Amino acid sequence: EDKVVQSPLSLVVHEGDTVTLNCSYEVTNFRSLLWYKQEKKAPTFLFMLTSSGIEKKSGRLSSILDKKELFSILNITATQTGDSAVYLCALNMNYGGATNKLIFGTGTLLAVQP
């Protein structure tokens, strides 16, 4: 069964800390790996990763994919209280190229304390 596992399940840090969120998977046939941030309602898009070893960066956030070891990490440096959210990792599956289907991990709940 296609599976995405995120760790840790939850994390409490203080402002200014650096955090690393992990996403591992047991799927090989996917088009891309996506990271989303979910605060109260809609997941908002952070990154899409398609190639192994190429880091994507956006401000204090960065992410990388390792297709050989089957994992991705999301790094957040100099955390702020506004980073508090659930971070979701998802794989966009490849069913012969004919569809979009995201398989989500359980998410990591990040709480940043002032």
Binding residues vs another protein (CB under 8 A): 31-32, 34, 36, 41-45, 48, 50, 88, 90, 92, 94-107
Instruction: Closer to another protein by CB, 40 or 68: give it.
Output: 40
Instruction: Closer to another protein by CB, 7 or 17: give it.
Output: 7
Instruction: Closer to another protein by CB, 97 or 114: give it.
Output: 97
Q: d(Cα 81, Cα 2) in Å, to the nearest integer?
A: 34
What's the closest the beta carbon of residue 90 comes to another protein, in angstroms?
8
Residue 23 makes CB contacts below 8 A (sequence gap 6+) with: 4, 5, 6, 33, 35, 71, 72, 73, 74, 89, 105
| CA quadruple 87, 85, 75, 14: dihedral, nearest 10 | -150
What's the closest the beta carbon of residue 43 comes to another protein, in angstroms?
5
